[in-house]
Amino acid sequence: MLPAHLEQVKALLDLCFGDSAWTMESLRSQLDKSDSRCTVAVEYDRIIGFLAFEQVLDEGSIVEVAVHPDCRRKGIARSLITAAIQSAEGLDSIFLEVRESNTSAIRLYESLGFERIGVRKGYYQKPKEDAVIMNLSISVCNAPNP
């Protein structure tokens, strides 16, 4: 992802999540972090997917995944996540949190080898909802092809 993508990514996040917790400043900060990777999926010069990934020591975290509503169920999220997994050299595991009601995303993550390991009660706001905590053990993972 390039700094020139920030405005399109912000618009995508707002479209996907309503009043996004992401500001232009927080996106810029995420992009500038040395332990962070931001990836976009582009179609005809339009950003249709975004993934933010962070690494701390031997653990990774998928911070955000967003795909334009008109482009869902076409393998874009799978491709972004698979690329993150395949680039996770030296990591033992990758974590993520997902809204409990987002069953499509949970099924996708499970199909990629993630397992449910816990729940964060009341983690999400607008509306208030629990987060399912999921983990992928890299040591036993062979990331699927996108």
Q: How far is CA 141 from CA 9, 31, 40, 91, 114, in A?
A: 30, 27, 23, 11, 9
- Separation CA 134–CA 58 (nearest Å): 16
Q: Catalytic residues, which ones?
A: 97, 109
- Separation CA 119–CA 30 (nearest Å): 25
Structure tokens at 24: 């232009």
21: DSSP letter: S
Give the chain's radius of gyration (CA, Å).
15
Helix (H) / strand (E) containing 135: strand 129-137
